[in-house]
Amino acid sequence: MGPISNSFTRTSLCSWTNDDSVVDVFPMQDAPFPTTVPWLFFRKQQLAVQTSDLIYSFILSSKVSGHILAVFHCQPGTHGWTSPPLAPFGGIMPVAYCQECRLTFLLSCIREWVTRMGGKTLNIKTAPACYHPLTHEICHRSYLAAGFSPNHTYSNHYIPITDPHFDQIIEPAERRRLAKGKNSGLRIDLKTGICDEATETLLHECDRAHGRHRRVAPGQIARIIHAAPESYISMTARNRLQTVAAALLVRVSDHVLYHFLSGFLPEFRSISPSLMLFEAAYQYCRNSGIEILDLGISLDHFGNEKASLASFKRRIGGRECPKIIYEAIL
């Protein structure tokens, strides 16, 4: 991607300069966003639905060219400052080639601002390394150089989209379960830009039936989708009588599809409806030129790592990569 230029029509709250690097901080609504933002969760419309509180946007640009090189969004909270406000990941997003020293300068400015605003900690939840391994490595070194430490490193699973069909990448036992689900008459329906009330209700019912707290507040799914409907895909597995499983997936970028939320009614566990949903997601990726199906991290409803879920992801072709949360004590 080439550098992106944006004229700053609003005055920043504060500005820092180091050689050719300039960092400006704005209230998110006033920030000069790049014309193209590669990752969905960094786009203004998505940030606006994450929270009603004030988000601060930091813009790293070149003093000579005026090109925007990287962006960062964070907000204060009861337990410290966080990035993102409410999304699977935040942190630095380079939008053009950017040297490591520039990103370290950006993070140093962010630390200074948060400290000035009375913040004691800053936690940054970053994207899985598989999204862009080179960017992950450059940003990782920048976080460390700016005084951030990995607070927690999760094991994130993802499926690279290759030529074989889904049933060729999963283990034999899962292949038999997949065939059983198909033979039972389950049918998959896919919709883009909509998660109807019945599907949202089913996902909440699955949470209740499995003893989980609601993972998404009532009505929140509709609000999130409304901001970028073309990026959200809902899938349902249905037999002749009822819908028995559902999934909500997010097209995070041109090459990544993220498994955001799914569930199945436990009385249909024997026909493994989730396998048919993952097969449909895999095929959607193949048809759409998507390179990665991100299965996410594996946690139970208490936030503890869930070994059985991680094992299932490995059995359906999932590979592991790190997903790091960084923290700075200010």
Residue length, the chain?
330
Q: Are residues 114 and 166 in the same domain?
A: no
Is residue 323 domain-resident? no
Check if the beta carbon of residue 126 is closer than 8 Å to that of residue 74: no
Average pLDDT for runs of 10 along the chain of length 330: 50 96 96 92 93 95 94 95 93 93 98 97 98 97 98 97 92 96 95 91 92 82 91 95 95 97 94 96 97 96 90 97 98
Residue bearing tokens 């990995």: 150
Q: Are residues 93 and 186 in the same domain?
A: no
Cis peptide before 84 (omega within 30 of 0): yes
Q: Are residues 148 and 8 in the same domain?
A: yes
Q: Are residues 183 and 250 in the same domain?
A: yes
CATH number at residue 168: 3.40.630.30
Is residue 300 domain-resident? no
Q: Are residues 276 and 211 in the same domain?
A: yes
Q: What is the pLDDT of residues 145-172, one digit of tens each?
A: 999 999 999 999 999 999 889 999 999 9
Q: Are residues 123 and 172 in the same domain?
A: no
Segments forming the whole domain that contains residue 35? 4-154
**Global pTM value:** 0.93
CA distance 265 to 185: 16
Q: What is the pLDDT of residues 201-240, one digit of tens each?
A: 999 999 999 888 878 887 888 888 999 999 999 999 999 8
Question: Mind giving me the DSSP string for 83-146?
Answer: ESSSSS--S-EESS---HHHHHHHHHHHHHHHHHTT-SEEEEE---GGG-HHHHHHHHHHHHHT
| Nearest in space to 202 (alpha carbons), one of 133, 281, 264 | 264
Is residue 169 domain-resident? yes
Q: Are residues 167 and 285 in the same domain?
A: yes
